[in-house]
Amino acid sequence: MASPTAAPSPFAPKSYPDMPAIDGVRFSTGAVGIRYKGRTDVMLALLDKGTKVAGVFTQSKCASAPVEWCKARLKSGKARALVANSGNANAFTGRTGAKQAKFTASLAAKAAGIKPNEIFLASTGVIGEPLDGAKFEGQFEKLVTAASASGLFAAAKAIMTTDTYPKVASAKALIDGVDVTIAGMAKGAGMIAPDMATMLAFVFTDAPIGAEALQALLSSGVEDSFNAITVDGDTSTSDTLLLFATGAAANDRRMAKSTT
């Protein structure tokens, strides 16, 4: 099936700023033909050891398999990788969908040399059809090899479904004399209502923040942002907002003090 084309939204930006690299994060994308040919449909973010994670998810009682997978692993507060795909949401898929989510994580874990429980998953696209994890076989090894600190914008394109343009943003802050960088991506064009929606959003920072504090900041921050958005009044099953903090800026702080 060929990839459909759509005219860019009138709200699409005329240009995009260069997205900054986040110390401790590398990205790559691939086209595995989940639903359409000729477009990237999977992204991998590799996270350095020690990365903390926080998350907020759909309020739907019929959450997708990837959402349930993430909820179960969020308690550890640790993450080493994120896998997100477009084309298939792996929602309303029951035990089969859960099995495919686990299989996907196992493939990525083997390729990256980490544990499956350290991998977070997100899927967006058609519902009611189990994700075919076999499409990822032999692909994650390529994604691990190709991962680059400069790949965030390409990753934002890989998670698009009915979006007509990628959504990215970044910011910097000065904390204790050290620059901290924040950058993120999001997708979502329909089925958007308060309490998240058919939206995937991934935010990355090199700030040194513990998992508990990170979760508190995220839970508070969504109240006047993601949870205050509506497009068509529908809430989806796949809504996922994940915030990753590598803590790499703490190394810069120690280096700065050691040279003074």
Beta bridge partners of 200: 187, 240
Q: Take residue 253 and report the two structure tokens written for it.
A: 């702080």
| Catalytic annotation, residues | 198
Asked if residues 67 and 239 have their Cβ atoms less than 8 Å apart, the reply is yes
Q: How far apart are CA 221 and CA 157, in angstroms?
A: 25
Q: Strand order of the sheet with strand 119-126?
A: 25-30, 42-47, 81-88, 119-126
Q: Take residue 138 and report the two structure tokens written for it.
A: 């032999």
Q: How far apart are CA 52 and CA 79, in angstroms?
A: 6
